[in-house]
Amino acid sequence: MTAGPSPLWYATRATGVMALVLLTAVVVLGVAGTARFATPTWPRVITAQLHRSLSLLAVPFVAVHVATTVLDPYAPIGWISAIVPFASPYRTLWLGLGTAASDMLLAVVITSLLRARLGYRAWRAVHWFGYACWPVALWHGLGTGTDSKLSWLLALDAACVAAVAAAAGWRLSLARARAGALTWLLACAAVPAATAVFVVVGPLQPGWARRAGTPVAQLAGNSAPAAATAPAAPADGSFAGRAARTTDRASGDVTITVTARTRAPAQSLVITLRGAPDGAGVTLSAGTVTVSPAGTTLGYSGPVVNLDGHRLVADLRGPGGAAARATITLFIREAVATGTLTVGPPDEQ
């Protein structure tokens, strides 16, 4: 069986994305609640109950997100770093934002459960952390997520930002103090603009992992000692092989599977790309790349993080925890696949 990214790696990212979506819904519903939004078919009690339920639902996703982050052996993140912000040596600032967001969410949940024993002012003051938690969590994900460059994830982040900005703008438009409302409206517009600028000059740029604070040892792929039987990292080389294209009748999605071998050194290469059909290619929704020495089952494997025309990029993990970034130029003519494989350190995560 080919070794790939740890299941914890996938769990961390999946729960992080779900937590952000739930927090976005919580913030939008909270804004609607403060505006006393109601219609004949949507009374205020529904908004309040849904706001409370989604807040509680976000907690287990955040808890699993934190636990899998700590348990994943790839990065040196201890339990202290999961509680105390900015205590981790791994991407200190961006991971610290995530810790701060989870601490604020926990404070909001605890005080909400104890609301009957707290004064309204004390509860209200802590409850504002719920709104502060959202932008902190958003920037945490953008700054430290290894899949921040994925187009679908960028679109999801943009949708979350647009939803909160629209809700805040609508709420402020109802304010009576027009001068103060205009100031807050400008502030609401500044947050999405600042986020967009940050994404362009930060995570989307090459070398972001190093700038974000990834330890040099992990950039070199030796954060964990490799087993004696672990293969060497994949090497550069040109390849040739076969390509198969299948279509899911139910969804209409296309899967392109390339099975090839590099010439020198001899390595097995398997590329799988899935998504909506786009001419002879696909609009990527998911993909994997596996590279292993010819004749063995041990190798490097990982998700495709970018597909642009004939060029695709994948983040690979080896059996010993070593990481590498594969850049592949792929050409398919009928059923014949050719191209080049280039492997380097994961300095663009």
| Token pair in block for residue 289 | 């790349």
What is the reported pLDDT for 226? 41
Cα-based distances in Å from 58 to 20, 62, 108, 127, 135: 8, 6, 12, 15, 15
pLDDT tens per residue, range 132-164: 888 999 999 999 876 777 888 899 999 999 998
What is the reported pLDDT for 216? 61
What is the reported pLDDT for 225? 41
Radius of gyration of the chain (CA): 23
What is the reported pLDDT for 127? 80
What is the reported pLDDT for 126? 84
What is the reported pLDDT for 244? 92
Which residues lie across from 332 on neighbouring strands? Answer: 337
Please check whether residue 253 is in contact with residue 274, taking contact to mean a CB–CB distance below 8 angstroms.
Answer: yes
Please check whether residue 159 is in contact with residue 116, taking contact to mean a CB–CB distance below 8 angstroms.
Answer: no
Question: Is 183 in a helix, a strand, or coil?
Answer: helix
What is the reported pLDDT for 231? 55
Q: What is the DSSP string of 139-172?
A: HHHHHH-TTTT-HHHHHHHHHHHHHHHHHHHHHH
What is the reported pLDDT for 232? 66
The residue to which tokens 């899935």 are assigned? 274
Q: What are the structural domain ranges in the chain?
A: 7-214, 221-344
Which is nearest to 74 in space by CA: 3, 6, 149, 1?
6
pLDDT tens per residue, range 187-212: 677 888 888 998 888 888 877 877 88
The Cα 42–Cα 269 span in angstroms is: 54
Cα-based distances in Å from 214 to 44, 52, 92, 240, 265: 46, 37, 8, 35, 30
pLDDT beneath 70, residues of the chain: 1-5, 146, 175-185, 187, 216-232, 295-297, 347-349
What is the reported pLDDT for 65? 93
The Cα 80–Cα 303 span in angstroms is: 30
What is the reported pLDDT for 179? 52
What is the reported pLDDT for 255? 93
